[in-house]
């Protein structure tokens, strides 16, 4: 198991692949992502398994669908008993680290990572628990709304900029620490996840990124529907984010999309810094670098914003791999974030025998090597706010089927109709496919039972959150360990020894 490649995953938040140069956007400035795509594999039908931050990330970490692990929403506990790829990679001898956001909820804030070098950016408790028994009531404290779009633009800094600058710095410093240890014969492959919050709303960018673009080149949404034209689920989302009754001017939409592109470029700069650091420590040629995201952003398409639906701009994610053993090209097969855990295990030299839980994904290494893959499928589940019932998605081949018990079914051919303008569910020519998909939904899921389980966990979490707010127990927000007495130069150290330990590359004897 010698010479196994390192793994570096660079994760964005709310990045739709449509808004990157690597995936064909005409003005998006993403040179570092584009460079990775040119020397590696670009996956053109990669999806999240739930279009919301925490559920998507828990599926990514576990290789399991959210209904299997009860990861329903942004306040669902990610149980410590669920094995993650971080556990498996550590068992295979990798040194592991998380820098940045993973939106873990619950007292376990590491989930198998040996090192975690920053805090998270969002609450780790049950505060953001929805209520399906009052699904149409807004919770103003944490629901999305259109004020975020209206306030988009330029600023010198925001809490998100502060956070991502910290995440990038901490990740690069950890890589240098690993290199220092390797220089002193502490050999082990490493796996780093550097997870940034951009280009997630609020759509506010620093001037140097904002000024990369101009108003007159910003493309506007191509397919916009009025509230009365929406399918029932989209209308509920539109109502929930206040888009149904908060009009936006053309200038506000353009400003938000410009700021989003600016923040995509800012995120791209973080890719460049990490790749440069890998090069500087001599590990780039032995590292598989992956770039992905937890979900996308509608950015006004269909009249919708943010995520929380299974349309392409919300549910698709970028997925690019480059490094040893990775072919140059594009992969057409549908896949999803649950496929990354088995991919990591194969890279690390493990196999299915080491799994503590069954996983729902498959390894993407055959596709990454340019080989054929008989599987062309992505499965999605949404069990969070703005719906009273679970929403399911099956993407197979070019067809995408969306089901929610109280709503009419939706079927789209996303290759012929990428903007999903034509619902084929009522087209007689597709009656056979609709029947097959409907039967499959019934076989895969018990929607009523899942709904009851979701509501039961919501009730218990609301009660627990009230008790915790009253002082029952300590907060779960992660505090990265730090011991200043062992940093830099201290009285118990020989400063020349400390200087030699920190210097990289080390001075040759």
Residue 472: its pLDDT value, please? Answer: 87
Confidence of residue 496 (pLDDT cuts 50, 70, 90): confident
Question: What's the rounded Cα separation, in Å, for the pair 367 and 362?
Answer: 11
Can you say how many angstroms the Cα of residue 415 is from the centroid of all Cα atoms in its chain?
A: 23
Provide the domain count of the chain: 1
Is residue 443 domain-resident? no
Question: CATH number, domain at 253?
Answer: 3.40.720.10
Judge whether 470 and 424 are in contact, CB under 8 Å: no
Render pLDDT for 406-421 as a digit per residue (tens, 0 to 9). 999 999 999 999 999 9
Q: What is the pLDDT of residues 269-299, one digit of tens each?
A: 999 999 999 999 999 999 999 999 999 999 9
pLDDT score for 30: 98
Task: Select from 122, 206, 107 the least CA-distant residue to 156.
Answer: 206
Domain presence at residue 284: yes
* Kind of pairing between the strands at 319-322 and 6-13: unpaired
Q: What is the pLDDT of residue 186?
A: 77
Q: Would 205 be classed as within a structural domain?
A: yes
Please answer whether residues 192 and 9 qualify as being in contact, where contact means their C-beta atoms are separated by less than 8 angstroms. Answer: yes
d(CA 72, CA 135) in angstroms, rounded, equals 14
C-alpha span between 471 and 476 (Å, rounded): 13
Q: Is residue 36 part of a domain?
A: yes
pLDDT digits (tens, 9 = 90+) for 37-70: 999 999 999 999 999 999 999 999 999 999 999 9
400 — phi, psi (to 5°)? Answer: -125, 125
pLDDT by residue (tens digit) across 433-481?
A: 999 999 999 999 999 999 999 999 999 999 999 999 999 888 999 999 9
Q: Are 331 and 366 contacting, i.e. CB atoms less than 8 angstroms apart?
A: no
Q: What is the DSSP string of 46-104?
A: EE-SSSSHHHHHHHHHHTS-HHHHT--STT----TTS--HHHHHHHTT-EEEEEE----
The runs of H, that is alpha helices, within 153-249 are 159-183, 207-210, 232-240
Model confidence band, residue 133 (pLDDT cutoffs 50, 70, 90): confident
Secondary structure of residue 68 in the 3-state scheme? helix
Longest dimension (CA), the chain: 81
Query: Is the four-CA dihedral 23, 25, 28, 29 of positive or negative sign?
Result: positive
Q: Quick one: CA torsion of 144, 149, 151, 156, rounded to 10 degrees?
A: 90
Location of structure tokens 């009052």: 134
**pLDDT of the residue at 142:** 61
pLDDT tens figures, 353-380: 999 999 999 999 999 999 999 999 999 9
Q: Rounded to whole angstroms, how far apart are CA atoms 398 and 471?
A: 52
Range scoring the smallest mean pLDDT among 8-12, 98-102, 359-363, 484-488: 484-488
Residue 211 within any structural domain of the chain: yes
Whether 16 is covered by a domain: the verdict is: yes
The mean pLDDT value of the chain amounts to 95
What pLDDT digit, counting tens, does each position of 158-169 carry? 999 999 999 999
Q: Report the distance separating Cα 183 and Cα 449, nearest Å.
A: 55
Q: Are 201 and 306 in contact (CB under 8 A)?
A: yes
- Residue 380 DSSP SS3: strand
Residue 3, pLDDT score: 81
Sign of CA dihedral 153, 157, 159, 162: positive
* Lateral strand order in the sheet of 377-382: 377-382, 391-396, 399-404, 410-413
Domain assignment present for residue 473? The answer is no
Q: First and final CA of the chain: distance in angstroms?
A: 30
Where do the H-state alpha helices sit in 192-249?
207-210, 232-240
Cβ distance 316 to 46 under 8 Å? yes
Please tell me the predicted confidence (pLDDT) of residue 256.
98
Catalytic positions: 53, 103
CA distances from 76 to 247, 366, 413, 457 (A): 33, 33, 33, 8
3-state DSSP helix/strand/coil percent for the chain, to nearest 5?
40, 15, 45
What is the residue range of 47's domain? 6-373
Inside any domain, residue 414: no
pTM for the predicted model, two decimal places: 0.96
């Amino acid at each position: 198991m010698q010479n196994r490649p390192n793994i570096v995953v660079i994760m964005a938040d709310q990045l739709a692949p449509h808004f990157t140069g690597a995936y064909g956007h005409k003005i998006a400035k993403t040179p570092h992502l584009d460079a990775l795509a040119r020397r590696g594999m670009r996956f053109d039908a990669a999806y999240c398994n739930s279009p919301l931050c925490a559920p998507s990330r828990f599926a990514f970490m576990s290789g399991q669908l959210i209904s299997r692990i009860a990861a329903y929403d942004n306040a669902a506990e990610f149980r410590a008993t669920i094995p993650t790829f971080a556990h498996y990679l550590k068992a295979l001898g990798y040194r592991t680290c998380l820098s940045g956001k993973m939106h873990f909820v619950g007292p376990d804030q590491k989930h198998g990572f040996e090192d975690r070098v920053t805090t998270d950016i969002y609450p780790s408790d049950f505060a953001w628990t929805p209520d399906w028994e009052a699904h149409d009531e807004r919770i103003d404290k944490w629901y999305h709304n259109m004020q975020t779009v209206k306030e988009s633009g330029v600023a010198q800094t925001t809490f998100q900029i502060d956070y991502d600058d910290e995440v990038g710095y901490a990740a690069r410093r950890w890589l240098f620490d690993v290199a220092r240890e390797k220089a002193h014969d502490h050999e082990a492959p490493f796996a780093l996840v550097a997870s940034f919050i951009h280009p997630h709303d609020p759509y506010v960018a620093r001037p140097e990124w904002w000024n990369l673009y101009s108003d007159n080149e910003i493309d506007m949404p191509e397919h916009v529907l009025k509230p009365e034209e929406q399918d029932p689920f989209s209308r509920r989302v539109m109502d929930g984010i206040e888009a149904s009754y908060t009009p936006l001017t053309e200038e506000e939409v353009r400003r938000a999309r410009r700021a989003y592109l600016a923040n995509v470029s800012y995120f791209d700069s973080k890719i460049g810094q990490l790749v440069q650091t890998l090069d500087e420590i001599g590990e780039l040629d032995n590292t598989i670098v992956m770039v992905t995201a937890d979900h996308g952003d509608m950015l006004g398409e269909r009249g919708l914003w943010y995520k929380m639906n299974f349309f392409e701009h919300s549910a698709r994610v970028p997925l690019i791999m480059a490094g040893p053993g990775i072919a140059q090209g594009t992969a057409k097969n549908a896949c999803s974030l649950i496929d990354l855990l088995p991919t990591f295990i194969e890279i690390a030299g493990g196999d299915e025998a080491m799994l503590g839980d069954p996983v729902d994904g498959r390894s993407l290494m055959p596709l990454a090597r340019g080989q054929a893959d008989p599987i062309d499928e992505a499965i999605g589940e949404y069990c969070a706010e703005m719906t009273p019932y679970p929403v399911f998605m099956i993407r197979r081949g070019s067809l995408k089927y969306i089901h929610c018990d109280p709503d009419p079914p939706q079927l789209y051919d996303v290759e012929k109709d990428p903007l999903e303008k034509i619902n084929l569910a009522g087209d007689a020519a597709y009656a056979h496919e609709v029947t097959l998909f409907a039967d499959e939904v019934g076989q895969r899921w018990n929607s009523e039972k899942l709904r009851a389980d979701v509501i039961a966990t919501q009730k218990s979490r609301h009660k627990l959150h009230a008790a915790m707010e009253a002082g029952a127990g300590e907060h779960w927000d992660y505090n990265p360990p730090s011991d200043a007495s062992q940093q830099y130069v201290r009285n118990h150290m020989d400063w020349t020894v400390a200087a030699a330990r920190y210097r990289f590359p080390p001075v040759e004897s």
